[in-house]
Amino acid sequence: MAMVLDSFVTRCTASLEDFAGQEACGALGIGDDVRCLLATLRRVQAVVSHEERRGRVLSAKVDAWVAQVKDAMYETDDVLDVSMVEGGKMLAEGDSPPTPKARCSLMFSCFKPASAPKFHHEIGFTFREIDAKLREIEEEMPRLPAGSLHSESRRDWFSRGICSNFSDAIRPLAVGTQVQKSLDGLVPRMIREGKKKVDVLAIVGAVGIGKTMLAREIYNDERMTETFPIRVWVKMTKDLTDVDFLKKIIIGAGGGVNVGEIESKKELLGIVSSTLSKRFLIVLDDLDNPGIWDDLLKDPLGDGVARGRILITTRSEEVATGMKAMVHRVDKMDAENGWALLCRQSLPECSSEELASLKDVGIKIVERCDGHPLAIKMVAGVLRSRGKSKAEWEMVMRSDVWSMRPIIPELPQALYLSYVDLPSELKECFLHCSLYPEELPIQRFGLIRRWIAEGLVSDKDNKLLEDSAEEYYAELVSRNLLQLYAGNLDQCWITHDLLRSLARFLITDESILISGQQRLSTDPLSLSKPRHLTLCNMENRFDDPISVKQQMSLRSLMLFNSPNVRSIDNLVESASCLRVLDLSKTALGALPKSIGNLLHLRYLNLDETQVRDIPSSIGFLINLETLSLQNCQRLQRLPWTVRALLQLRCLSLTGTSLSHVPKGVGDLKNLNYLAGLIISHDNGGPEGCDLNDLQTLTELRHLHIENLDRATSGASALANKPFLKDLHLCEQAPLIEEQQSEQEQENQDDQKETEEEEKEVLDVTNSQFSREESIKASEKIWNELTPPQNIEKLVIKNYRGGKFPNWLTGPKLGISFPSLVYLDIDNCMSCTALPALGLLNQLQSLQISNADSVVTIGPEFLGAASSSSATASFPKLEILKLRNMKKLEEWSLAVEENQILLPCLKSLHIQFCPKLKALPEGLKNVSLRELHVEGAYSLTEIKDLPRISDDLQLKDNRALQRISSLPVLQSLTIDNCPKLKHVSGLDTLQHLRLAFPPSTETFYFDELIIFWSIAFPRWLELLIRKRDGLRHFELQCSLSLLRSCLDGGKNWSIVQQIPEVRITSTDGKRYIRYNKRRCIYETNAQSED
């Protein structure tokens, strides 16, 4: 049982105290009852806070009163919601819509009112009843020591620098010398050719000893990626069925087309065999069933054409034996390696002198972790929040938790310490993360809004709740309790199975997790008052997993990976206390009208469902904070009652079929996230909202406006938005009239009458006039919409004007937008010139797409030097992308003597600019890491880029003839550049990939040859033969050229000089794999069939 009461009781006390001072409390005549409960609650709060600060080890007796207090807090929270609603109604004296009778009967069923006065009496009775319960519980609680009435000041528990910058939270996995030694021994062992077609290696060790970390290092090792083109990682979980396991193998190996619909194990086994067509590596992490080899893997892998390796991690020697595996046992870390890991995880930027002062106590902490890397990592998360204070480190070392009896088997005390050290708010948030299915990453955006809906985020320092929740998220990542998924800030996992087990154990008395027909937590019927229900992998029809009585206690109901579920009406109707309801990605076609009965609901997620209509009863959800309807493609209407959702903080409507958003959005003054605001015809009309509705929304942080072309006014729509950071301005995409005309002409009858042709000419003239009027109207409204200075991200899409808005073209652009970091300009088809975006001093990412009227990008794009002192154009720009610019012919980067050009640019992408004749000469002074050029049909050469270092990718550049003078380039990819004849000056090239070369005729040094069908071009031979040249060569080519590279073939003498070679036929069926150093030569291209 989790002692996570402090923040819950504190929140309830604060809410009750606030309500006691409101007029609504007096209107109900329950002031005395509320004040009595408040006095009792303050005494309980003092005891709870004291016990939590002491970190009291829980016992059965403590569990009992903790559970009782928590139940009383849930009841208090519920009755407060009801009281504020009814008190507000009395004060409004009938101004608001009446409560439906059906809604009353369910919402207030616990009170069973016969009339309003009697009902209000019942509310007072409920407050008195809770007070009496708490007084009884007080007798069982420990006495508060004298002098402990005033709460102690708390230390700042946020890790240094984490709250404002997530980048510090992403630290590379620290690998000690012991792990590196194991790596150096195991990798050569696995890539060495053996007698068996499939060899199995088992990494065996205790829980938390570092098995997965070592397996991950092996999996990502460059030698493994070179040797095994197919690599699959499968996390073995208790609920993973044989069918799902085989699907994971197939999808991971790249053969997942339509495999999701197959449920036949026999059919899947056949696909596994055919999919693993090349050398493969399969990792089975945390395997506990040795029968998986004989039952599922032996036959398909034995019948397959390729050789491979299986790497398993397991706690059991028996599993390794059953898999007939070679065994590698993971040893505990020694003190020095443990200390090195602790330092890298806790204080990565600490000086050697500072580390030396902490080493003695650090070594003692490592010893307490008993050589377990996971335990060291968890303690490092705790120490990271304590900074460099030796006294703080000694407090961690002396913690009572080290001497506690493990609360679950095999749990290192360091893991429990990492939980105990959390403040109460973060404990609740961490435990909430265990409500999500183990196999799915947790989405950050939804997670923080669910925390808010459950009341887990404190309202402190006048901060926006969402900002505080972001800090909570960053802190949990910093403390290593949450791990970012593939480095993505927006997705995470609980770091380790043991941590998840700990969280599930601590929340097991109030949560139920069910996957399909398998229950993953305590028997649901054993919980009298479950608060959280998570359902995953559910079918279309399923029986109610818990009783109606249990449903009445639920505060959250979430469905995952259940795309066939069409209805859960019974659950919704009974779960009247829900705060969180997530039905996203289901087949739900309609919401029941009874949805309006969920008075307490704060979070409703219907993303990617089949919902066509939202019932008007949703207007009764007056506590709703998040309504997400993203990508509900069938949704065509929102009821006008959404304007009654006055507590709404997040409204997401992007990807729907709505024609407009109802008037009254401006009444939702708590909105801080508004995505997909659709302007209706005639700038609002009688039903739809217009830009003027935005004027009162002063709390907005994110705003996405669509169909701006319908607006006729709204000059001040973006004024008074001091917190707005993320702004999307979109018009409706114009029809491509030229394509329509061409289609009409193709279908035109040769016998058309002259009058019809004249009518077409008239229609075109009218259309042009209409287009000109549209352009003028667009320019007018956009000029009036001036974004606030604090904007950080700006997206402009489908702008119809002939020139960009004034606020984006002025000479003081850098002053107007001093914080702009990300800018995306898409489909501004009529603009002929780009603004002076080089003046944006903080801009880091710039993308310009579908600027069809831009012919030239000149020096004005950079911004002119404003003084005699040195200035930089795009001083912080790191990523620049130019896409689908059909008329772009010339791009100049000429600068003045006192200008510095693109000093931070790392990545440049040029895609589908068919008329661009040359890259700008100024690029030679830019230290690029990567350059991608695709679909530049007029580009003839790429030359003189002395500072591009990492990667050059060239694709579908039909006129490209020469590549030269790239002296520090490491990697080059050439894909379908049929006229390429000269490649030189690539002095440091290590990796070359030639993909999909065509079998067309081309001239090379005035000699007619069949390029790629007979021989390598001369430039390629020179590259390969160069001393200290290519290390890695990939080629996708015709079968005739591939066979010329076989041992004994015409090109074998060239190929055999390259350390690593992969050659594949264009259809992907034939291959050659060659590794010179490891003496590997494999091919299936010998036969002629």
CA distance 300 to 425: 50
| 553: CB partners within 8 A, 6+ apart | 74, 528, 529, 530, 531, 577
Going by C-alpha positions, the residue among 802, 801, 909, 906 that lies closest to residue 849 is 909
Q: Helix %, strand %, coil % for the chain, to 5?
A: 40, 15, 45
CA distance 678 to 690: 8
| pLDDT tens digits along 544-562 | 777 777 888 999 999 998 8
Quote the pLDDT of residue 546: 76
If pLDDT is split at 50, 70 and 90, which confidence band does 113 have? very low
Quote the pLDDT of residue 762: 46
The whole-angstrom distance between residue 816's C-alpha and the CA centroid of its chain comes to 31
Which has the higher per-residue pLDDT, 492 or 742?
492
95-99, 287-291, 1048-1052: which range is least confident on average? 95-99
Report the pLDDT averaged over residues 627-638.
Answer: 96
CB neighbourhood size of 4 (10 A): 23
Report the pLDDT averaged over residues 1060-1085.
Answer: 84
Quote the pLDDT of residue 760: 56
| C-beta separation of 281 from 224 below 8 A | yes
Report the pLDDT averaged over residues 330-351.
Answer: 87
| C-beta separation of 137 from 73 below 8 A | no
If pLDDT is split at 50, 70 and 90, which confidence band does 149 have? low
Measuring CA to CA, how many Å separate 499 from each of 217, 396, 434, 482, 1088? Answer: 21, 19, 9, 9, 56
Domain boundaries, the chain: 6-140, 166-171+334-500, 177-329, 508-728, 990-1089
Residue 642 has pLDDT above 70, yes or no: yes
Quote the pLDDT of residue 121: 80
Report the pLDDT averaged over residues 514-525.
Answer: 62
Q: How many residues does the chain have?
A: 1089
Give the HSE-up count for residue 405: Cα atoms under 13 Å, Cβ half-sphere.
2
Quote the pLDDT of residue 1087: 61
CA distance 791 to 284: 46
Number of H helices and number of E strands within the chain?
A: 31, 41
| pLDDT tens digits along 524-533 | 556 788 999 9
| pLDDT tens digits along 30-82 | 999 999 999 999 999 888 887 776 655 556 677 788 889 999 999 999 999 99
| C-beta separation of 844 from 814 below 8 A | no
| pLDDT tens digits along 567-590 | 888 888 888 999 999 999 999 999
| pLDDT tens digits along 592-621 | 888 999 999 999 999 999 999 999 999 999
Quote the pLDDT of residue 770: 65
Report the pLDDT averaged over residues 766-773.
Answer: 62
Quote the pLDDT of residue 543: 66
CA distance 79 to 16: 10
Q: φ and ψ at 252, to 5 degrees?
A: -65, -30
Residue 839 has pLDDT above 90, yes or no: yes
| C-beta separation of 376 from 383 below 8 A | no
Quote the pLDDT of residue 647: 95
| pLDDT tens digits along 421-441 | 998 889 999 999 999 998 889
The DSSP H or E segment spanning 901 is: strand 899-901
Per cent of the chain over pLDDT 90 is 46
Quote the pLDDT of residue 745: 46
| C-beta separation of 679 from 707 below 8 A | yes
CA distance 1061 to 1054: 11
3-state secondary structure of 77: helix
| pLDDT tens digits along 188-236 | 888 887 778 889 999 999 888 889 889 999 998 888 887 888 899 998 9
Quote the pLDDT of residue 941: 96
CB neighbourhood size of 155 (10 A): 11
Quote the pLDDT of residue 737: 41
CA distance 414 to 376: 7
Q: Considering the chain, what is the average pLDDT of its residues? A: 84
CA distance 319 to 287: 8
By DSSP bridging, strand 511-515 and strand 879-883 are: unpaired
3-state secondary structure of 257: coil
Q: What is the CATH number of domain 508-728?
A: 3.80.10.10
| pLDDT tens digits along 458-477 | 887 788 999 999 999 999 99
Residue 92 has pLDDT above 50, yes or no: yes
The whole-angstrom distance between residue 589's C-alpha and the CA centroid of its chain comes to 27
CB neighbourhood size of 548 (10 A): 12
3-state secondary structure of 794: strand
Which has the higher per-residue pLDDT, 738 or 900?
900
| C-beta separation of 1065 from 1037 below 8 A | yes
Quote the pLDDT of residue 714: 72
Q: Using CB atoms within 10 Å of the CB of residue 610, give its burial: 0 to 12 exposed, 13 to 18 middle, 19+ buried.
A: middle
| pLDDT tens digits along 983-994 | 999 999 999 999
Which has the higher per-residue pLDDT, 112 or 66?
66
Quote the pLDDT of residue 1054: 87
Alpha helices in 421-547 (DSSP H): 424-433, 444-453, 465-478, 497-507
| pLDDT tens digits along 489-499 | 899 999 888 89
CA distance 703 to 449: 17
Quote the pLDDT of residue 3: 52
CA distance 533 to 572: 12
Report the pLDDT averaged over residues 333-362.
Answer: 88
CB neighbourhood size of 782 (10 A): 24
| pLDDT tens digits along 866-889 | 444 557 899 999 999 999 999 999
Report the pLDDT averaged over residues 134-146.
Answer: 85
| C-beta separation of 645 from 627 below 8 A | yes
| pLDDT tens digits along 271-325 | 888 888 778 999 999 999 888 888 888 888 876 667 789 999 999 999 999 888 9
**What residue type is assigned to position 804 of the chain?**
F
Measuring CA to CA, how many Å separate 149 from each of 145, 311, 314, 551? Answer: 8, 58, 51, 38
321-330, 727-736, 900-909: which range is least confident on average? 727-736
The pair of structure tokens assigned to 1059 is 């350390």
Residue 683 has pLDDT above 80, yes or no: no
Going by C-alpha positions, the residue among 180, 190, 275, 276 that lies closest to residue 227 is 190
Quote the pLDDT of residue 1007: 36
Quote the pLDDT of residue 978: 86
Q: What is the pTM of this model?
A: 0.88
Report the pLDDT averaged over residues 234-254.
Answer: 86
The whole-angstrom distance between residue 758's C-alpha and the CA centroid of its chain comes to 56
Residue 158 has pLDDT above 50, yes or no: yes
CA distance 375 to 380: 8
Q: Which fold has domain 177-329?
A: Rossmann fold (3.40.50)
Which has the higher per-residue pLDDT, 452 or 780?
452
Q: φ and ψ at 589, to 5 degrees?
A: -100, -20
Which has the higher per-residue pLDDT, 1029 or 770?
1029
